[in-house]
């Protein structure tokens, strides 16, 4: 009886190890595909081939929110296209101020496809003319693209 239990435990351990090894192998394969898809293409001299990369094209590079009341929260979508030859991956979108909160797609944008960056602006404790910058970091050349957000806050 004890021998059967030991045998079953050994068999379960062996199966678990094989399962983990296969899962790690699949994960590495997926990681390799991911890295390959965002690789920066270069020529034989090591120079970046921008024409072979993803390229982000914003429908608008400046977003004027107009006149807002202090404390008003405004949400907008900023549409963009991948006009390049490779998959576009946005790694980060950051704002120059905590009052502006961006969100962006975490998946690849295929060449020719479009998506949106959502922006939420909170005018609380603000007054007068405001200008904020949203910086998009992606696998493009240059790697950063800016959007300017403007508003005039009235008390």
Average pLDDT of every residue of the chain = 84
What would the pLDDT profile of 102-121 be if each residue is shown by its tens digit? 999 999 999 999 999 999 99
pLDDT at 83: 97
Residue 82, domain member (yes or no): yes
Look at 15 and 112; give whichever has higher pLDDT: 112
Question: By residue range, what is the domain housing residue 146?
Answer: 54-154
What would the pLDDT profile of 117-143 be if each residue is shown by its tens digit? 999 999 999 999 999 999 999 999 899
Residue 105, domain member (yes or no): yes
Residue 28 has pLDDT above 80, yes or no: no
Nearest to 109 by CA among 76, 91, 86: 86
pLDDT at 5: 55
Distances (CA, A) of 115 to 79, 84, 88: 6, 14, 11
Residue 90, domain member (yes or no): yes
User: With left for phi above 0 and alpha for psi between -120 and 50, is residue 17 left, alpha or beta?
Assistant: alpha
85 vs 112: CA distance, rounded Å: 8
CATH number for the domain spanning 88: value is 2.60.40.10
Residues 6+ apart with CB under 8 A from 140: 53, 54, 55, 56, 84, 88
Residue 40 has pLDDT above 70, yes or no: yes
Residue 13, domain member (yes or no): no
Residue pair 99/132 in contact by the 8 Å Cβ criterion:
yes
Residue 30, domain member (yes or no): no
pLDDT at 11: 47
Beta strands in the chain (DSSP E): 56-58, 62-69, 73-82, 90-95, 100-103, 114-122, 128-138, 144-154
Nearest to 136 by CA among 108, 102, 107: 102
Radius of gyration of the chain (CA): 24
Look at 130 and 38; give whichever has higher pLDDT: 130
Residue 1, domain member (yes or no): no
Residue 34, domain member (yes or no): no
Residue 28, domain member (yes or no): no
Number of domains in the chain: 1
Strand partners, 74: 121
Look at 101 and 2; give whichever has higher pLDDT: 101
Look at 45 and 29; give whichever has higher pLDDT: 45
Average pLDDT over residues 39-59: 85
Residue 56 has pLDDT above 70, yes or no: yes
132 vs 21: CA distance, rounded Å: 49
The lowest-confidence range among 20-24, 110-114, 144-148, 150-154 is 20-24
């Amino acid at each position: 009886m004890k021998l059967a239990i030991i045998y079953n435990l050994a068999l379960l351990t062996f199966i678990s190890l094989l399962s983990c090894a296969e899962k790690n192998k699949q994960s590495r394969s997926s990681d390799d595909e991911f890295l390959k898809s965002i690789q920066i293409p270069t020529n034989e001299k090591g120079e970046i081939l921008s024409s072979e990369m993803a390229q982000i094209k914003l429908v608008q590079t400046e977003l004027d929110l107009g006149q807002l009341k202090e404390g008003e929260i405004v949400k907008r979508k900023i549409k963009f296209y991948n006009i390049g030859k490779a998959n576009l991956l946005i790694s980060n979108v950051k704002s120059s101020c905590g009052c502006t909160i961006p969100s962006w797609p975490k998946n690849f944008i295929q060449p020719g496809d479009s998506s949106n960056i959502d922006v939420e602006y909170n005018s609380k404790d603000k007054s007068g003319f405001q200008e904020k910058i949203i910086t998009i970091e992606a696998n493009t050349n240059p790697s950063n693209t800016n959007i300017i957000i403007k508003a005039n806050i009235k008390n």
